[in-house]
């Protein structure tokens, strides 16, 4: 997913929306992957049912915190590593989603300042 450099013109609005859709799809893939990882882990290590695993994974991934107690050591270890992963994943997913928007704004500002 190549972005234009500062010497190139700003991409057209329809092309920008296509780019935004691609980045959004990739961000959604990362969300689904991360949620799936948590669901499988909480079902396996935490012995939670499907709904509780979805709930727990969603809460951890968004930074809200745990909703179920982990009883075994393996469940606590998984929960700890998943929480660390989720912190990085949340920031990365946010960066992927906002990258084309921030790039466009900065590119427009750079093009305008070069034209003066």
pLDDT digits (tens, 9 = 90+) for 50-107: 999 999 999 999 989 889 999 999 999 999 999 999 999 999 999 999 999 999 998 8
pTM of structure:
0.83
113: pLDDT strictly greater than 80: no
Residue 19 · residue 103 · CB < 8 Å = no
9 closest CA partner among 108, 98, 102: 108
Supply φ then ψ for residue 22, to 5 degrees. -65, -45
Mean pLDDT calculated for residue range 14-24: 94
Mean pLDDT of the chain: 90
Provide the pLDDT for residue 112.
55
Q: Which residue has the higher pLDDT, 102 or 7?
A: 102
Provide the pLDDT for residue 111.
62
Provide the pLDDT for residue 77.
96
């Amino acid at each position: 997913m190549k972005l234009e450099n500062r010497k190139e013109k700003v991409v057209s609005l329809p092309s920008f929306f296509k780019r935004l859709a691609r980045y959004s799809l990739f961000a959604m893939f990362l969300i689904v992957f991360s949620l799936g990882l948590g669901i499988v882990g909480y079902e396996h290590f935490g012995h939670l049912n499907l709904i509780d695993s979805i709930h727990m994974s969603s809460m951890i991934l968004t930074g809200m915190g745990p909703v179920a107690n982990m009883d075994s050591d393996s469940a606590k270890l998984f929960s700890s590593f998943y929480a660390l992963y989720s912190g990085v994943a949340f920031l990365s997913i946010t960066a992927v989603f906002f990258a084309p928007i921030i790039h466009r704004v900065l590119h427009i500002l750079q093009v305008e300042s070069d034209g003066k």
